[in-house]
A and B are shown apart, each in its own frame.
Chain A
Amino acid sequence: MIAGYVPAGIDVMFQSENGMLGVGAPPTDDWADPDLINAGKQPVTELPGCSFFASEESFAMIRGGHMDMSILGAMQVDEHGNLANWTIPGKMVKGMGGAMDLVAGARRVIVAMEHQTKDGIPRILKQCTLPLTGKSVVHDIVTEFCWIRVTAEGLLLTELTDGVDAIDVQSRTEARLLVSPNLRMMPVSTSA
């Protein structure tokens, strides 16, 4: 999904954990190759220079620190940079898939998530209550309202989306937010 929002002129190579580097856009016509999918099990295409490899190689790449960045979803994150996104004990068993490997191996981890649950309960907490995917692994949190950096001092609010202010965002967040002196509007690209 991220692949559709990369601004023109920025050169990014996407890795898919199931064994591909150089992942292209979804096929535009009805025809799709079932042997060519991404980690979300959706059909993709090949970019020039792409490569295929087995799972153990894919995760050697991930674990070995060769990924500049990983972007993942979350059920909860907290002010220590902890992430929870794979199970709700007794209620939901989703599985961690490659998420634990990604957060342990990628050089920068960005969590892209909805700020609160559907019932308005904060997901950005003082301390995660769900089983963790990784401990002290998150560098940045981006939601529909803001961009937050995880720092040694705590969560630093650096960007806001249109129509909210720092007070609104704090009211939707359990963890205390530090407000950056350089707080600014988030530049949003809609070119998906």
Chain B
Amino acid sequence: MNKVVRTASEAVADIAHGSTVMLGGFGLCGIPENLIAALVERRVKGLHTISNNMGVDGFGMGLMLEAGMIASHIGSYVGENRLLEAMVLKKELDLTLIPQGTLAERIRAGGAGIPAFYVPTGLGTMVADGKETRQIGGRFYILEQALHADVALIKAWKGDRLGNLVYRKTARNFNPSMATAAKLTIAEVEELVEPGNLDPDHITTPGIYVNRVVLGAEYRKPIESKFIKSGGAA
């Protein structure tokens, strides 16, 4: 079993226009830089993206947004992404904001065969609008549905050709849950090793969830707080 694909371009070659795509990362930390670049090169259009953030102006998913590839987005935070905010205010992009923990759990549920679950988060806010609420043990909860995607693009630190993945520090974030919730999971890694070279106790994403593995190159890994302060392109 060999899931290794030679290049990021090859890895994303069959992603169709209009696909639902999950992208791992928190801000610019732990994002699949190479897979995003390959997708931008292909100019795949009408994508429905699911990701906590939308990169920043000039990097990460911000590049997909600038290339006009995104039709709708589900996330939890816009923050300093000026283009995204402007597009949403002009109604050029359909944005659904949901609480970050609910986003993470909806993705986890999607991969775990749980269609819906109750949470207290967002009770009495716009997030609860139109959703079923139920009283359990004296407290009210809202019903949240699982999320799925056609494709998940994720980033790990090390991986082997069976798709087993190990993450590094806070670059883990949404990557492991997204790996489980898509029909096609593509992982890029900084280091590709032979099976047996990862300590089985350290593997966070077992290879069963991963369809393709590609060795990433030339990681830029900008630190977002510094990237924005320096005005981007630095």
Contact = CB atoms under 8 A, between A and B. Distances in A.
A98 to B, nearest CB: 4
A116 interface: no
A36 B119 CA distance: 29
A97 B170 CA distance: 16
Interface string B208-234: 000000000000011111100000000
B158 to A, nearest CB: 12
Contacts of B115: none
A104 B174 contact: no
A151 B84 CA distance: 39
A33 B177 CA distance: 23
B126 A131 contact: yes
B28 A63 contact: no
Contact of A37 (B77, B102, B127, B224): B224
A150 B174 CA distance: 35
B50 interface: no
B99 to A, nearest CB: 4
Given A55-B52, A96-B99, A37 B121 contact: no
Interface residues of A, number: 51
A95 B97 contact: yes
Contact of A96 (B76, B104, B176, B224): B76
A133 to B, nearest CB: 7
Interface string B170-200: 1111111100000000000000000000000
A32 interface: yes
Nearest to B75: A95
B29 A41 contact: yes
A127 to B, nearest CB: 13
B95 interface: yes
A182 B79 CA distance: 40
Contact of A55 (B85, B104, B122): B104
| Residue of A37, A38, A62, A105 ringed by the most chain B CB atoms within 10 A | A37
B169 A95 contact: no
Contacts of B120: 63, 104-105
Given A41-B223, A59-B104, A104-B122, A33 B173 contact: no
A16 interface: yes
Contact of A18 (B99, B122, B170, B223): B170
A179 B126 CA distance: 33
A111 to B, nearest CB: 16
Contacts of B79: 94-95, 97
B16 interface: no
Given A54-B172, A93-B78, A132 B30 contact: no
A55 B177 contact: yes
Contacts of A53: 172
28 contacts: A32-B226, A34-B29, A37-B27, A37-B170, A41-B29, A42-B223, A42-B225, A43-B223, A52-B167, A53-B172, A54-B172, A54-B204, A55-B104, A55-B174, A58-B101, A87-B97, A91-B89, A95-B75, A95-B77, A98-B99, A99-B99, A100-B127, A101-B100, A104-B121, A104-B122, A104-B123, A135-B123, A135-B124
